[in-house]
Structure 1
Amino acid sequence: MENAAATNMMRRFCVGDVIRRRVLRSPREEALVMNYKGKIIRRMNYGELNREANRFANAIMALGVKKGDRVAILSHNCIQYVVYSLALSKMGAWVTPLNFALKGREIVPLIRHCEPVMFIVEDELIDTVREVENEIPSIPHRIMINLSGEKPRPEDWLDFDALCSEKYPDDEPCVEINGDDVLTLMYTSGTEATPKGVMNSHGNWYATIMSNAMDQSTYFRNSDAARQHTMRKSVGLGAAPLFHVAGHVMIFFHLFTAGRYILLHSPDPKVIMQLFQEGEVTRGSLAPAVFVNLLGTPGGEDRVRKLFGNLEEVTLYGSPASESLLRKIIEILPNCQFQNYYGLSELTPLGSKLDHDDLLRKTIEAHRRFHGAEPIGQPHSMVEMKIIDENDREVPPGTIGEIAVRSPAVMMGYYKAPEKSAEVFRGGWFHTGDLGIMDEEYYFYFVDRKKDIIKTGSENVSSVEIEQWVAKNPKCSDCTAVGLPHERWGEAVTIFVVPKPGMTIQEEEIIRYCREGLAGYKIPKRVIVLSELPKNPSGKVLKKVLREKYAGLYRESRLAEGMDGDGTSGKKGRKFLRS
């Protein structure tokens, strides 16, 4: 080992080192369980995981892959995906995940942008890539992950598992890696525009892992309700896709705290509910809508206890939970700690967290003081956060402005986009593009994405506030609000609603419901009932799809004429829309 590399390994920030050190303490503890379409097909302990990662790293280095090269992957969650991420973290290449839901034509520009030297593809997705193979620039090495065993490996493609075999040495790769070296190149979900490539470094990920562990430990030590739980024996459910920053932070955190992680090939609701019911999972993420739907069925409380009774910690995501729902689930599941979390890919995704002890109190405060803004808690220990105006000046508590952040987890920048990076880094703070509020206790509240604010007439309306109010309707399972072009108002508040199973929703009843709790200019001009909302695999509502599909709604509808500012119409009744 050369002296420079040896000195570097002595003190460096390298994510791959963390798993090696974990193996020294618990090599035989189970690390990963692979659930492939409802069946357990593989289990792997920490020692085996580290060996396979080293072998794969050494194998691809022998093929010529080096530090700084991009290695793209298109796959659902699987053990091979984790091996790939850890292997690249050890030898300095860039983990470059692509969304498995993308069509071939959508993959092409990403491949052209990142210029990988190697492309790893799951067998189930091979056809997607082969359809556009002639449009993809030449890639020296292509590798297939054989999960189903039903697809023949294309000619000139390598087999992933063969590159992890005993044919290759399991010695630790000797590569000089520093904290500012990029580990992941993750493309944003692209709900609004062309995806951006977010460069997160080893130092970014190290800060996220360490800060999460430190803050989690502090909370468990100081909270009477949480002290009975132990992170060391946690079992996590890996439903979040690994192409997303949330999927990676969850797997890294579980592995580096000696937890066990059940990887789901895809987020099948039936499989997820089965795993919860079996009682092995202790930590997971759930949307409030899941609880709303279950509690709305006969015997709902007992079903919630049966499904989630063994959970010790739940991160709530999606539409914010109402005060009444929080009271109910805390009562039904007294041994579970609930939390809200705020983060972005650009923050790796270290942002803020609202712990269980403050969740109900701050939810009540959000509704009473801040018109239903979502409480997102206090920044992590390594994070500074503030609210700024359009001139980047900090505003007083209680004032809406843009959330700005600085921390060692802030991304290195957008790949091949220095101007865009400079724009969001101005003044030495990362500008999130999110609107928020800070209160007098240094707790933060999410108001809306700046781009999702609905500008109707002379007023700015938060889509989140509309969604939170409509979500409390007893017939509503899911909803989202957008602004659609309107000749008179500029943008018209429009709400898309998914009814609970077995229920129907009429447009007028939602309008009446909104009049009970919203100012006149916030009341939706139209209510559109859908069987489901368009979402990406990360669970994010694709508002762009709705805006494009319904862009002509008010031009085409005669109801657009004669509408008053409170959402009422001069016409008799409304047309009931269902898609």
Structure 2
Amino acid sequence: MSLGDRWAGHHIQQLTTPKVLAERAQSLGDKVFLNYLPDGRQLTYRDIDLMSNQLAHGLAKRGIGHGTHVACLMDNSPEQLLTYFALGKLGAVAVPLNTGSRGQSLQYLLSHSDAVALVVDDALWSNYAEVAAELDNIRQIVCLGADKAQIAARKTDIDVVDFADLYEADQSLPEATVSFNDPSYIIYTSGTTGPSKGVILTQAQCFLWGLSHAQAFGQRPDDIAYICLPMFHTNALQGATYNAIMVGASIALQKRFSASRFWQDIRACGATLTNLLGSMINILWSQPRDPADADNRLRMCMSAPIPDFGLEFEKRFGLRFIQSYSLTDFGPSHAYSLVEPLAKLGSCGKARAGIEARIVDENDFELEPGQRGELVLRHTMPWAHSQGYYKMPEATVKAWRNGWFHTGDVGVIDEDGYFWFLDRTKDAIRRRGENISAYEVEKVIMSHEAIRDVAVFAVKSEMSEDEVAAAITVKDQVELDHAGLIRYCQSQMAYYMVPRYLVVMQDLPRNSSQKVEKFKLRDWANEDLERLWDREKAGIVVKRG
């Protein structure tokens, strides 16, 4: 019986990391699951199962067990995925962290998550070292890629282990009681009016997410999914890797997106599927045309969103667009697949199997088709959606009021049941695939000695999605050093959060309750972005590392 049949039979309780990987290893064995393009390593389904067992034994020897929170600050690699699976086999909780996190934002994530251990790439060690003195919860570190001398030098009052030393000879499944409803991941998503929230994903939900994608889009065992998005996000992990597992397909993994390398990779690995973000599509579209543009095996490309030039892109590159509406906070809910009418291109598609979706007004009353309102969701099956926010009960209750998850996204459901996204109600910014908390950017800027007040907001971007802007008031007798503030931000937050635009104002616009009216700032700025200081025009490059 396939895993899909088990889902149809409502055997959700079988969806745990140890059970699913063991079943895949038994039924698929020597089929290649992972092709790691940077160095050519290939791992079969059996390899993934046995190697994650070996890692799990090594982690267990070092005190990692059921319910232990382990942060992972890692770029895409086989080791990253094996770590996630090994933790899942112990019933431990993986906390994937954005590799751009540093300074105050990284300190918050490591502290709030209650992680007691950290698995970190050597190239990202300095990010941790910057905030290590402020963390008393991290008691053990596993470092990938450091040499023995570096490992030895880093052993102070915290135990530092070489990743390679975790592999035990024992390839059997570790003894651990793992349940379908155990937390498997805490994945952080941007806060709106507060700090980033850790979303709890159970063991079962991760596989149900993958199965939902596979079924909604007609994915097959002979598919090869090219992944260049980061696996610390649900798009690449639950929305590409887990669905490959569920249908017995393969993934080709690249460290990160590169426009110059993208099509070369696609051809070399024989990819039939890939996921892209709007900004990436714009970049690929702007590349010089090549007679070989359509020389690939891609049959579908998931895009969020599908651009206005979507039909031209499809023709040029010989592929078809699909679209998913998915939220880390909830899971996948809508799908626009290859069988949908062309007239619905640009929509997020219809609600998937098991999903109930409504458009409601500000009092949660359902609106008629075509009326604009907030999208709310719920699932008809247990354990198929995320389980709220870690250590944030009030935010969880607010998001799930009246028994529906409130997405904070505004749109319409048309008379045929297709959802069209229009806008966000949340004070969040989406820049090149990353959700950014305005609150967290404001918190860093306010800690700068020259700043009296700040409001961070989204402005339009030529690359689709948003750019980050900050309206600032400075302390008396202070003249703002724009470049200096950018350097300060870069030292205290992830690179993608650093504002592109700054504007110094006498006062920020406020309502009678003294809340900043950010809609006025957005409207004013978008009328003419030339009014704002632009770090890109100033020649300031904010690097990833």
Q: Report the TM-score range of the alignment, normalised by the length of the smaller protein.
A: 0.7 to 0.9
How far 1:215 sits from its partner (Å)? Answer: 2.6
Partner of 1:49: 48
Tell me the distance in 2 between the aligned counterparts of 1:80 and 1:142.
Answer: 15
Partner of 2:271: 281
Q: Structure 1 11/422 Cα, relative in aligned 2: closer, same or farther at 3 Å?
A: closer
Tell me the distance in 1 between the aligned counterparts of 2:459 and 2:290.
Answer: 33
The answer as to 2:347 corresponding to 1:375 is yes
Q: Structure 1 186/75 Cα, relative in aligned 2: closer, same or farther at 3 Å?
A: same
Partner of 2:255: 265
Does the 8 Å contact 1:14/1:203 carry over to 2? yes
Tell me the distance in 2 between the aligned counterparts of 1:362 and 1:129.
Answer: 46
How far 1:192 sits from its partner (Å)? Answer: 6.9
Tell me the distance in 2 between the aligned counterparts of 1:491 and 1:50.
Answer: 45
Residue correspondence of structure 1 range 134-533 to structure 2 within 5 A: 134-146=133-145, 152=151, 154-155=154-155, 156-166=159-169, 169-189=170-190, 193-217=194-218, 231-249=220-238, 250-278=240-268, 280-287=270-277, 300=289, 302-306=291-295, 309-318=296-305, 320-322=306-308, 325-333=309-317, 336-347=319-330, 349-358=331-340, 360-363=342-345, 375-407=347-379, 408-451=383-426, 495-497=460-462
**Secondary structure at the counterpart of residue 332 of structure 2:** coil
Does the 8 Å contact 2:67/2:93 carry over to 1? yes
Structure of greater Rg = 1
* Counterpart residue type for residue 182 of structure 1: P
Q: Structure 1 42/441 Cα, relative in aligned 2: closer, same or farther at 3 Å?
A: same
How far 1:175 sits from its partner (Å)? Answer: 2.5
How far 1:178 sits from its partner (Å)? Answer: 2.6
* Counterpart residue type for residue 175 of structure 1: A
Partner of 2:27: 25
Q: Structure 1 390/67 Cα, relative in aligned 2: closer, same or farther at 3 Å?
A: same
How far 1:317 sits from its partner (Å)? Answer: 2.2
How far 1:442 sits from its partner (Å)? Answer: 1.0
Residue correspondence of structure 1 range 69-88 to structure 2 within 5 A: 69-88=68-87
Does the 8 Å contact 2:115/2:137 carry over to 1? no
How far 1:202 sits from its partner (Å)? Answer: 1.7
Please tell me the root mean square deviation across aligned C-alpha atoms, in Å.
Answer: 3.8
How far 1:55 sits from its partner (Å)? Answer: 1.4
Tell me the distance in 2 between the aligned counterparts of 1:356 and 1:434.
Answer: 25
Q: Structure 1 554/317 Cα, relative in aligned 2: closer, same or farther at 3 Å?
A: farther
| 1:413-448 superposed Cα distances (whole Å, 9 cap, x missing partner) | 111111110111111111111111101111101111
* Counterpart residue type for residue 545 of structure 1: P
Tell me the distance in 2 between the aligned counterparts of 1:118 and 1:290.
Answer: 34
Partner of 1:97: 96
| 1:448-504 superposed Cα distances (whole Å, 9 cap, x missing partner) | 110369xxxxxxxxx99xx9xxxxxxxxxxxxxx9xxxxxxx9999644369xxxxx
Gaps of 5+ in 1: 1-8, 221-230, 364-373, 454-462, 468-481, 483-489, 500-533, 556-563
* Counterpart residue type for residue 317 of structure 1: A
How far 1:386 sits from its partner (Å)? Answer: 0.8
* Counterpart residue type for residue 161 of structure 1: A
Tell me the distance in 1 between the aligned counterparts of 2:356 and 2:344.
Answer: 20
| 1:124-150 superposed Cα distances (whole Å, 9 cap, x missing partner) | 111221232211114232111127999
Tell me the distance in 1 between the aligned counterparts of 2:253 and 2:81.
Answer: 10
Gaps of 5+ in 2: 1-10, 432-437, 439-454, 465-488, 509-522, 539-545
Does the 8 Å contact 1:12/1:177 carry over to 2? no
Tell me the distance in 2 between the aligned counterparts of 1:180 and 1:554.
Answer: 50
Q: Structure 1 551/129 Cα, relative in aligned 2: closer, same or farther at 3 Å?
A: same
Does the 8 Å contact 2:207/2:243 carry over to 1? no
Q: Structure 1 402/568 Cα, relative in aligned 2: closer, same or farther at 3 Å?
A: closer
Q: Structure 1 357/148 Cα, relative in aligned 2: closer, same or farther at 3 Å?
A: farther
Q: Structure 1 546/91 Cα, relative in aligned 2: closer, same or farther at 3 Å?
A: same
How far 1:337 sits from its partner (Å)? Answer: 3.1
Tell me the distance in 2 between the aligned counterparts of 1:102 and 1:43.
Answer: 29
Does the 8 Å contact 1:436/1:445 carry over to 2? yes
The answer as to 2:39 corresponding to 1:40 is yes
**Secondary structure at the counterpart of residue 340 of structure 1:** strand
Partner of 1:475: none
Partner of 2:486: none
Tell me the distance in 1 between the aligned counterparts of 2:458 and 2:173.
Answer: 57
TM-score between both structures, scaled by the size of structure 1: 0.70
TM-score between both structures, scaled by the size of structure 2: 0.74
Count of equivalent residues: 456
**Secondary structure at the counterpart of residue 66 of structure 1:** coil
Tell me the distance in 2 between the aligned counterparts of 1:340 and 1:197.
Answer: 25
Q: Structure 1 296/205 Cα, relative in aligned 2: closer, same or farther at 3 Å?
A: closer
Percent identity at matched positions? 23
| 1:518-555 superposed Cα distances (whole Å, 9 cap, x missing partner) | xxxxxxxxxxxxxxxx99xxx9985x8357x3464999
**Correspondence for 2:16 among 14, 29, 36:** 14
**Secondary structure at the counterpart of residue 54 of structure 1:** helix
Q: Structure 1 287/173 Cα, relative in aligned 2: closer, same or farther at 3 Å?
A: same
Does the 8 Å contact 1:23/1:47 carry over to 2? yes
